[in-house]
């Protein structure tokens, strides 16, 4: 998922990375990752043979078994799968829409995750609900009741736009529910007919059926509405239900001196289903596997245990990493770091510190020697939206790769998120950075960072304004009640 502000791409020459003369293991690993590796062949297999893999789907189960097999083949000491619970089930079954008056034409659309089905096929008048705010629904008055509300949407060009789109969801659903609209057709934020999965609720089920419709067709409906009554026939059928189980894949290279201390490298394996989950986030699942492979290949044994985790349930609300944190609660004091990659093949310019200024110096030290890869910009920001979240809430030192978002955005959750979008050179540079970093953190005589107590995490949440994001995404009550994160 991941929603972050854009960063400026920096240009770096990979040749510079081995500028040091030490030829230490971190640099050897980085050098190896930049050469010919099977990483992109793995990704191609995951995307083209398994494809889109929403958590709970047969494709996701295949991806889990595939990833476990690839990690085993990479030569790690052990591989297991660990089950966890996803609280709410949502799967698209079918979505059909047709304008039937004043003209007859089919409408392209994609049901929004976390929303209910229509009650069979409905036919209703369309009303223009503007931006879908409480005010625009209030203006419609009784006309909105039982109608299909057409809602406009700004074209998404930056991460700020994307973030604004998400922040808009809860108030939109609430306004539509209050107005008793039969359904909402949300204009696609991407031009040229592109559709995407836009989750409307990450903690429950929005009570109004919602689908994203082609931007051009939304504009046509809005023009027709200016001087005629418009009627649409709509059927959104989603499979919804209560909790179900999925699995994370966990591989391990045991530490030679401090095997109970853990440095974790993670990425989510699940994806939405319209595309094949290449940039979000197959490329980084392949990266995690390749980092493990590299360490085995050069027969290096780190001081601490390295854990390679492929989470599922991320797109539904980061439930795989939440489950990991719960299952490993007794071990979290010994988790020195959790490092997450989740912005496709965008160039990594540094790591988000999630407010942990105490990690800045040790991080800079760990990244020294691969500065030639253009990595060294480490923002303090804490961002809600990927698998570091429950580690953050649990006080575990965590880092999220700060990646160039520009190439990632147009295909985000869309039909067009396919293998061809991945930049192989940048993906390999990211694998080089990840390899060097996790090696240094696992092998350094000094521990990377300490675990914070709950009171310290509370302060961090306020200081970084994480609370505002958590409230917008419906996670605040879970934190207060102790359902998210694990106390020290
Ligand atoms: Zn993602």
pLDDT tens digits, 12-59: 334 334 433 345 999 999 999 999 999 999 999 999 999 999 999 999
Cα–Cα distance between 353 and 57 in angstroms, integer? 34
Q: Is the pLDDT of residue 353 over 50?
A: yes
Burial string for 131-163 (b: 16+ CB within 10 Å, else e) reads ebeeebbeebeebbeebbbbbbbeebeebeebb
10 CA → ligand 1 middle, Å: 22
Residue partners of 425: CB distance under 8 A and separation at least 6: none
Measured CA distances, 97 to 111, 130, 144, 224 (Å): 11, 20, 19, 16
* pTM metric for this prediction: 0.94
Are 397 and 337 in contact, with CB atoms under 8 Å apart?
A: yes
Q: What mean pLDDT comes out for the span 387-411? A: 96
Q: What mean pLDDT comes out for the span 188-206? A: 94
Specify the pLDDT at position 1. 58
- Picking from 286, 280, 281, the residue whose alpha carbon sits closest to that of residue 308 is 286
Q: What mean pLDDT comes out for the span 303-328? A: 98
147 CA → ligand 1 middle, Å: 34
282 CA → ligand 1 middle, Å: 9
413 CA → ligand 1 middle, Å: 9
Neighbours of 227 (CB within 10 A): 7
Are 413 and 281 in contact, with CB atoms under 8 Å apart?
A: no
Are 413 and 198 in contact, with CB atoms under 8 Å apart?
A: yes
Cα–Cα distance between 246 and 248 in angstroms, integer? 7
Cα–Cα distance between 309 and 265 in angstroms, integer? 6
1 CA → ligand 1 middle, Å: 3
Share of the chain above pLDDT 90, in %: 89
Peptide linkage before 102 cis (omega within 30 of 0): yes
pLDDT classification of 163: cutoffs 50, 70, 90: confident
pLDDT tens string 47-62:
999 999 999 999 999 9
Helical residues (DSSP H) of 115-244, grouped into ranges: 134-140, 159-178, 215-227
Neighbours of 220 (CB within 10 A): 16
Comparing 13-17, 55-59, 394-398, 483-487, the range with the smallest average pLDDT is 13-17
Residue partners of 21: CB distance under 8 A and separation at least 6: none
pLDDT tens string 62-78:
999 999 999 999 999 99
319 CA → ligand 1 middle, Å: 13
Q: What mean pLDDT comes out for the span 284-307? A: 97
Q: What mean pLDDT comes out for the span 247-258? A: 98
Are 154 and 245 in contact, with CB atoms under 8 Å apart?
A: no
Ligand 1 is an ion; residues with CB less than 5 A from it: 1-2, 280-281, 342
The mean predicted confidence, pLDDT, of the chain is: 94
138 CA → ligand 1 middle, Å: 36
Specify the pLDDT at position 474. 87
pLDDT classification of 6: cutoffs 50, 70, 90: very low
Specify the pLDDT at position 204. 87
pLDDT tens string 221-235:
999 999 999 999 999
């Amino acid at each position: 998922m991941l929603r972050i502000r854009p960063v400026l791409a920096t240009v770096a020459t990979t040749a510079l990375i081995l500028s040091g003369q030490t030829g230490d293991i971190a640099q050897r690993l980085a050098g190896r990752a930049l050469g010919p590796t099977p990483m992109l062949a793995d990704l191609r297999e995951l995307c083209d043979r398994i494809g889109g893999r929403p958590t709970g789907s047969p494709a996701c189960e295949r991806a889990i078994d595939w990833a476990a097999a690839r990690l085993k083949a990479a030569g790690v000491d052990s591989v297991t799968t660990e089950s966890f619970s996803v609280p709410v089930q949502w799967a698209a079954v079918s979505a059909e829409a047709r304008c039937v008056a004043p003209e007859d034409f089919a409408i392209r659309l994609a049901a929004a995750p976390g929303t209910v089905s229509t009650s069979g096929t409905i036919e209703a008048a369309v009303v223009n609900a503007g931006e879908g705010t409480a005010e625009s629904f209030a203006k419609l008055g009784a006309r909105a009741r039982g109608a299909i509300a057409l809602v406009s949407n700004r074209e998404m060009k930056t991460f700020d736009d994307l973030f604004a789109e998400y922040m808009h969801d809860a108030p939109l659903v609430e306004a539509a529910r209050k107005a008793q609209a039969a359904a909402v057709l949300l204009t696609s934020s991407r031009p040229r007919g592109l559709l995407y999965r836009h989750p409307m609720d990450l903690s429950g089920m929005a009570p109004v059926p919602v689908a994203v419709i082609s931007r051009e067709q939304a504009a046509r409906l809005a023009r027709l509405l200016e001087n005629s009554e418009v009627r649409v026939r709509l059927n959104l059928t989603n499979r919804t239900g209560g909790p179900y189980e999925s699995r994370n894949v966990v591989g391990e290279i045991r530490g030679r001196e401090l095997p109970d201390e853990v440095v974790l490298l993670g990425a989510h394996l699940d994806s939405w289903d319209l595309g094949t989950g290449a940039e979000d986030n197959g490329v980084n699942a392949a990266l995690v596997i390749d980092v493990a492979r590299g360490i085995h290949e050069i027969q290096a044994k780190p001081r601490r245990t390295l854990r390679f985790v492929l989470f599922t349930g991320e797109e539904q609300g980061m439930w795989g990493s939440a489950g990991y944190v719960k299952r490993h609660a007794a071990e979290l004091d010994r988790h020195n770091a959790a490092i997450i990659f989740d912005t496709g093949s965008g160039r990594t310019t540094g790591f988000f510190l999630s407010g942990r200024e105490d990690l800045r110096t040790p991080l800079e030290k760990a990244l020294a020697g691969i500065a030639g890869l253009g990595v060294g910009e480490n923002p303090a920001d804490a961002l809600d939206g990927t698998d570091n979240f429950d580690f953050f809430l649990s006080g575990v030192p965590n880092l999220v790769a700060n990646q160039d978002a520009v190439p990632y955005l147009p295909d985000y959750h869309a039909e067009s998120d396919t293998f061809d979008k991945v930049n192989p050179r940048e993906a390999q540079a990211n694998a080089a950075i990840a390899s060097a970093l996790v090696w240094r953190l696992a092998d350094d005589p000094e521990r990377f960072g300490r675990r914070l107590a709950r009171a310290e995490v509370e302060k961090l949440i306020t200081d970084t304004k994480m609370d505002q994001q958590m409230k917008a995404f419906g996670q605040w009550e879970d934190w207060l009640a102790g359902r998210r994160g694990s106390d020290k």
